[in-house]
Structures are given as structure tokens and as C-alpha cells.
Structure 1
Amino acid sequence: MGTALLGLLGPIIGGIAVALTTYWTTRPKAQAEARKFEAEADRTRAETTKILAEIDMRRPSVAPQDTTPKGWNVSGSVPEDYEVGLDFEVFAVGRSSAFIRSSHENPTGYASLVQTIKADEYRGTRLQLTAMVKARDVVGWAGIWMRVDDARDHTVAFDTMRDPERRIAGSVGWRRYRIVLDIPETGAYINFGAVMERTGQIWLDDVRVDVVDVSIPATDTIPDLPRRPVNLDFENGTY
């Protein structure tokens, strides 16, 4: 009887031993991968916070001047280092375009042409911003941008073209660029426009804001958060 029982328990005990060995040998690797994932997430959050701090185009920082296109405002870290206006000789469509250009050889920040609208009609939709942009001798970077704020001025969706793969630099002919954001139900204001940092000039024309379907991928740079709570009973172990 004892021999028979040991014969039955032997494979089970062996399986448990293998499982425990596998668990304790693979756990450090899983923990390392989890720490790597967390580090990447922290780095992404830090980069996003840095961008939001550097490109804080929340409110116009200077009053509209005679040269500011109607319906738009000028914002930026040092907007006085830049000129903003209309160009009736360089344009993509129609009769004119807007421009941002450095006013001297050593601007210390950036300037943005910005428009802010209420989010009421767009909540729950996917919104696409497109614009034609032309650049000349841009030393820093330039691009279009869009941001959604809630009623407390907290950013709930955001994208610029600041990353190296998407930014505009140097001299580029007319080209259409795109940003796509999901507008949350908490969204109160939608801000959009164009930005340029350091020397050079950009032209902006034929700006469009359209609701699109989910087949158009979103370009939000704020890190994705879980859609639902997880592990609320703490039964799924640790990293």
C-alpha cells in the first residue's frame, strides 16, 4: 500500500517541485521585466510632463497685435522674440497664410499661434487636426499641436510634433500634417495651433478640424492608463 501510494504521489511531488523551481528561477526575470516596464512608463510620464512644462500653450501670453490673424492668439515662452502675421505672397491655398518667424538671431524660447474652442460639440469623438505647413531654415523645431483641457485646466489629451520622427526642421515645402485625439467626456476646451522654437520661419495654411472614425489612429502622447481597475483583491501576486 505504501509503495503504491508513493508511486502515485511521486509524479505529483515531482511536478510541484518543478513548478516551484520554475517559479523561483523565472520570478527574478519577471520582476526585472516588470521593473523595466515601470521604468519605461515613468520615463514616458516624465517626458510628457517635461513637454507640457516646456510647451505650456495654455493661455495667450501677449495681447493680439494688429498683425495677429483674426480669431487667433499668440502664446509662447518668449513671444516677443518672434513675429506673427499674414503673408499674402506665400500660401498653399486661397490668398494668404499665417506665419511665425524669429525676429532676431538668438531667440530664447518658442512662439505659438493658438486658437481655443469649447469641447461641447466634440466630446466622445475622435478629432483630427490637419494643416499645410511650409518651413524655411528652422534650427530648432516646429509643428502643429492640439491639447484638450478639463474644466480645471488639467490636460486630458495632448500631442505635438516635438519628437524627432515627426518634427519639422530645416527647410520643407508645403506639406499636410496631422494630429488625432480622442476628446474625453471630461474635456472642456480644445486648444490647437502651430509652434516654432528658435530661429527660422514657418507658414501655416488651410487648417482643418474634423471628426473622424476610429480607423484613423490617435496620436496622443499622454501615456495610456488602464481602462478598468485591476487586481483589487490582491490575488494576482506581485511583479
Structure 2
Amino acid sequence: MALTTYWTTRPRARAETRKLEAEVDRTRAETTKILAEAEMRRPSVAPQDTTPKGWEVSGSVPEDYEVGLDYEVFFAGRASAFIRSRHENPASYASLVQSIKADDYQGTRLQMTARVKARDVVGWAGIWMRVDDANERTMAFDNMSKPDRRISGTVGWRAYSVTLDVPASGAYISFGAVLQRTGQIWLDEVRLNVVDDSVPVTDTYSNFPRRPVNLNFDDGTH
């Protein structure tokens, strides 16, 4: 009985073995094909960084935005820089920024000017400048975020400026442009110039009151 079972089951076992080997060969062939297709899709060189030379990109989720150079839309010269949202719900903001040492501007009033063009900005945009001390504590700052100064919607090339006093203890100056939420802005002709005291500062901190007011809430509303 055992011998009969052996001779009747051996062909079946061989058939099962051949079936498994065929499955292995098919799986190996499919894997090789997938890897070959992936290799064909892989770029031959790493993606090029489109950030303008000398500048950096910052923001909470900067990959939600695209930053680069535009050789067709510019105010002067050969190109402008741009920031634009990649989709309809980008996170927070993206900023194009450059930082320099403050040594040459310590004790002066410094004005940043730039030309900005905007398209379909939902949220706001602006140019900005900040002065930090050696411990990276902010000493002066303005980013045009106030409703009466911010850039929104679609506007043609316009001149904008921010002006800050650079204390003698100022160590670093950072400046650039910012876009919050959707849309696109172009930036061109950025300038830093020392101005005299007749030019008012736009420092956000300079507008803070020197003393607290209306602490018992008896003075009504605005």
C-alpha cells in the first residue's frame, strides 16, 4: 500500500514543484521589468536648485512653494526672482532671504527698496528686513504685514520700502520678500541705502507704546 501511494503521489509532487518554479520565474521576470522601468524614469542628474545665487528660502513648509528666476517677467535687467504657491492650500508662507553682517551699517538708518509685481495673491505679500544682535535677538523688524501696507491681489510693478535703525550692537541684517498662502510675486531691483533722519522708520517695534494703557478697560474701544 505504501509503495502504491509513493508511485502515485510522486508525479503530483513533481507537477507542484514545476508549478512553484514557474511562479518564481514569473515573479523574477516581473521584478526585473519593474526595476528596469524605474531605472529608465530616474533622472540622469540631480534636480537643479532654482534658488537665486546668494539667496536662501525659508518658511514653515517651503516645499509648498516654488522659488526661482524669471527671464520673461522682470522690471529691469535680465531677470527677476519669483515666489509662487505650488497648490491651492500651501502651508503658511515662504520667504526669499539674504543675510549679511551689519558692520558697515551700524549706527545708521537703513532703507530697503524693491520693485514687486503680484498676481492673484490670496493672503498677503511684502518685502521685509530684520536686524539681529550677536545673540540672534531681533532688534528691529518690518515685513509690511499691516493691512494698510501689505500686497494682495494682482498689481503691476510698484516700488516698496522698509526702513530700520541699525543699532551699534546690531550684528546681522536679513532682508527679502515673503508670500503667504496662494498666488505669485516677482521681486526685482532690491537696494539697501543709508538714509537720513528725515525718512521715518517703519519698524514694527517702534510703534509699540512706551507704557501700558487701558488696563482696567474703562476707556472704551478703538
TM over 0.5: yes
Whether 1:163 aligns to 2:146 is yes
Which residue does the alignment assign to 2:99? Answer: 116
CA distance in 2, matches of 1:150, 1:100: 28
Q: Secondary structure at the match of 1:80?
A: helix
Corresponding residue for residue 153 of structure 1? 136
Runs of 5+ consecutive residues of structure 2 not aligned to the other structure: 1-47, 211-222
Is 1:104 matched up with 2:84?
no
Aligned to 1:121, what secondary structure does the other structure show?
helix
Match of 1:8 in 2: none
Distance 2:149 2:61 in 1: 23
Map of 2:9 onto structure 1: none
CA distance in 2, matches of 1:98, 1:225: 33
Do the aligned partners of residues 79 and 184 (structure 1) sit closer, same or farther apart at CA in structure 2, a change above 3 Å counting?
Answer: same
Q: What displacement does 1:224 show?
A: 5.8
Matched letter for residue 131 of structure 1: A
Q: 1:163 is matched by which residue type in structure 2?
A: K
- Rounded to whole Å, the distance in 1 between the matches of 2:206 and 2:159 is 26
Could you list the per-position Cα deviations for residues 11-49 of structure 1 after superposition, in whole angstroms to 9, with x for gaps in the alignment?
xxxxxxxxxxxxxxxxxxxxxxxxxxxxxxxxxxxxxxx
User: 1:125 corresponds to which letter in structure 2?
Assistant: T
Structure 1 segments, 4+ long, off by >2 Å, are 223-227
Instruction: Measure, in 1, the Cα distance between the counterparts of 2:101 and 2:177.
Output: 19
Amino acid at match of 2:181: R
1:80-91 alignment, distance < 5 Å:
80-91=63-74
Q: Distance in 1 between matches of 2:204 and 2:89?
A: 29
User: Which TM-score applies when normalising by structure 2?
Assistant: 0.71
In the alignment, residue 205 of structure 1 is paired with which amino acid? D
Quickly say closer, same or farther: Cα 1:117–1:178, change in 2 above 3 A: same
Matched residue, 1:29: none
Per-residue deviation, 1:207: 0.3
Question: Could you tell me which amino acid in structure 1 is paired with residue 103 of structure 2?
Answer: D
Mapping of 1:60-71 within 5 angstroms?
A: 66-71=49-54
SS in structure 2 opposite 1:200?
A: strand
CA distance in 2, matches of 1:143, 1:118: 23
* Aligned equivalents of 2:206, 2:110: Cα separation in 1: 18
* Per-residue CA distance 1:75-125 (angstroms, 9 max, x = gap): 011101000000000000011000000001110210000000000010000
Q: What CA distance in whole angstroms lies between the structure 1 residues aligned with 2:92 and 2:152?
A: 16
Match of 1:128 in 2: 111
Query: Secondary structure of 1:191's match?
Result: strand
In structure 1, runs of 5+ residues without a counterpart are: 1-64, 228-239
Instruction: Give the alignment of 1:173-212 within 5 angstroms.
Output: 173-212=156-195
3-state DSSP class of the match of 1:176? strand
Shift of 1:153: 0.8
In 2, Cα distance between equivalents of 1:71 and 1:195? 17
Q: Identity of aligned pairs, percent?
A: 74
Give the distance between the partners of 1:144 and 1:112, measured in 2 at CA: 9
Match of 1:213 among 193, 196, 201: 196
Query: Cα deviations across residues 38-82 of structure 1 (Å, max 9, x unaligned)?
Result: xxxxxxxxxxxxxxxxxxxxxxxxxxx620000000001110100
Q: CA RMSD in A?
A: 1.5
Give the structure-1-normalised TM-score.
0.66
Which structure has greater strand proportion? Answer: 2
Query: SS where residue 138 of structure 1 aligns?
Result: strand
State the match for 1:43 in structure 2: none
